Structure 1
Amino acid sequence: MLAIDSGNTRTKWAVFADDGRIQEAGVCLNAELAAFVIPPSWQLCKHAIVANVAGERVAASMTALLKKAGLSYVWAKAEAETLGLKNKYEVPESLGVDRWAALLAAFKRYLNQPACLVVNAGTALTIDAIYQNAFIGGLIVPGFSMMQNALLQNTSAVNPQSGQAKTFPLNTADASYSGVLSAIVGAIVMQADKLESHCQDVPTVVITGGDAAMLMPILTQVFGAKPVLADNLVLEGLYLMERAKS
């Protein structure tokens, strides 16, 4: 099976074996999809499941690629319940499908844990909570690059992209870089604390996405225990969604 996750900036894909193992995976910038060369491994798949939060233009590009590859496909959507995980969003189907897929994969991995905080650190940062077999809510925060770009575009003397993380910054570049990083980490820690208070137990923190590796060292320092770094969590969730229907 082929799973495709078209995020705001990049499209990730993975070919899954019948037992759920990833056989091959790749990534392409959305801006370069028109020139994407279909890998031979796609031709071995019979079916694809696609998550798209990047809009109609990317959807059209993906449709053209899948038709060219001769694959049947479905567009993934969030549901009220899948594989025992309940979706308590006010309108379950309006939850971003990438968030739902990541939640499902984390739920499957850590089924025996009392609570789980799922962090997807991409163009946008999502911080979603699972408790008692249900998604109980979450945050959407500007991601690291988006916050940096906001400072660049709306100030005249701040360039956070040239800075470094410092505890007490002594120049503007370090101050802005460290400020962006602290804002993101602070949002994650705040939600982890809220979830711990809500369930009266320490939640498992799972992080995925393009900025996950960058955030891991500081999150490990803050939590005192290493969060779980989970590559391809959204793709794994898409695979589970489609297998649940068979």
Structure 2
Amino acid sequence: MAERLVYVVNDEEIFLVDIGNTRIKYCALPDADNEPIAVGTIEALYEPLTRAGCKLIYVASVREEAAVDALRQIVEGKNIRLEVVNTEKSAFGITNSYENPATMGVDRWLAMIAGAGMTKKKAFCVIDVGTAITTDFVFNGQHLGGWITPGFHSMRNGLINSTKRVFGDESVPDKLQPGISTQMCVANGCLAAVQGVFLSAIAYLNSKQTDFDVILGGGDKKLFAFPESGGSILAANLVVQGLARYAKREIS
């Protein structure tokens, strides 16, 4: 991590940027626990960042390096410093299970960093529900590993595109039920598979025979709105909230 910045005056001058697979989310540091603003392109960040008096940006990206380079071009010559956060072997009391941490998506790493700040229990998992569903388990500060599964829309599109006589629509069921048309069967089947990730995570955590928390984040976390998930901790945006912990550590 770079040197501390003495010219950062207050939290409002620090912005957090999550460059995800489908959308880009951003907010000022004081708003990290709220739903971030979403835009479609890197270029759309120019006006809000320059207008807000931004001096420091913490950014995480799961895209190619070109996306971060585009953000660098936006802030170049504007007295805005860019801090790119990458996956580490250990930080904030969490040890990564990966032999080569660079091969883990930074979204998963930041989800664990955020999750650790939301619970005091020795065991927890974070489930980030979006284009993909990532699930990671932490016990006594040790990352045990995780899962990556297709998200609802990825799963549905993959099924439709790979079969000739199965088709669907854009509907997302409010609750799980048997379908009475092919479209309904596809939608509810994908929802059943998505919710199965949560139930499998609970089963695994129960096997550890300890108290635990489940932390849910991501744009599609509403798909887990069923009785078994009632005790979960809901996160506005795990990546942004993980970035916030890095930002606060550097300016404290």
Change (3 A) 1:169 1:134: same
The structure whose RCO (Cα within 8 Å, separation 6+) is larger is 2
Contact (CA 8 Å) 1:42, 1:69: kept in 2 or not? no
* 2:127 partner letter: V
Among residues 156, 159, 167, which one is paired with 1:148 in the alignment? Answer: 156
Distance in 2 of aligned mates of 1:204 and 1:24: 21
2:121 aligns to what? 113
Query: By how many angstroms is 1:95 displaced?
Result: 1.8
User: What secondary structure does 2:83 align onto?
Assistant: strand
Q: What is the CA deviation profile of residues 98-128 of structure 1, one whole-angstrom value per residue up to 9, with x for unaligned ones?
A: 1111111110110x21311101011111011
1:177 aligns to what? 187
Change (3 A) 1:156 1:24: closer
Change (3 A) 1:27 1:232: same
Map 1:4-153 → 2, pairs under 5 A:
4-17=17-30, 25-29=36-40, 32-39=41-48, 43-67=52-76, 69-110=78-119, 112-153=120-161
Under a length normalisation based on structure 1, what TM-score does the superposition of the two structures give? 0.86
1:237 aligns to what? 242
User: What secondary structure does 2:21 align onto?
Assistant: coil
User: What secondary structure does 1:147 align onto?
Assistant: helix
* 1:27 partner letter: A
Change (3 A) 1:68 1:25: farther
* 2:248 partner letter: R
2:228 aligns to what? 222
Contact (CA 8 Å) 1:24, 1:41: kept in 2 or not? no
Query: By how many angstroms is 1:35 displaced?
Result: 4.5
Q: Is residue 212 from structure 1 mapped to residue 221 from structure 2 by the alignment? A: yes
Query: By how many angstroms is 1:36 displaced?
Result: 4.4
Under a length normalisation based on structure 2, what TM-score does the superposition of the two structures give? 0.84
User: What secondary structure does 1:117 align onto?
Assistant: strand
Distance in 2 of aligned mates of 1:97 and 1:172: 37
Query: By how many angstroms is 1:202 displaced?
Result: 4.2
Change (3 A) 1:193 1:117: same
More helix by share: 1
Distance in 2 of aligned mates of 1:123 and 1:150: 12
Distance in 2 of aligned mates of 1:13 and 1:119: 20
Query: By how many angstroms is 1:245 displaced?
Result: 4.0
Contact (CA 8 Å) 2:32, 2:241: kept in 1 or not? no
Distance in 1 of aligned mates of 2:45 and 2:83: 20
* 1:84 partner letter: G
Q: % of aligned pairs identical?
A: 28
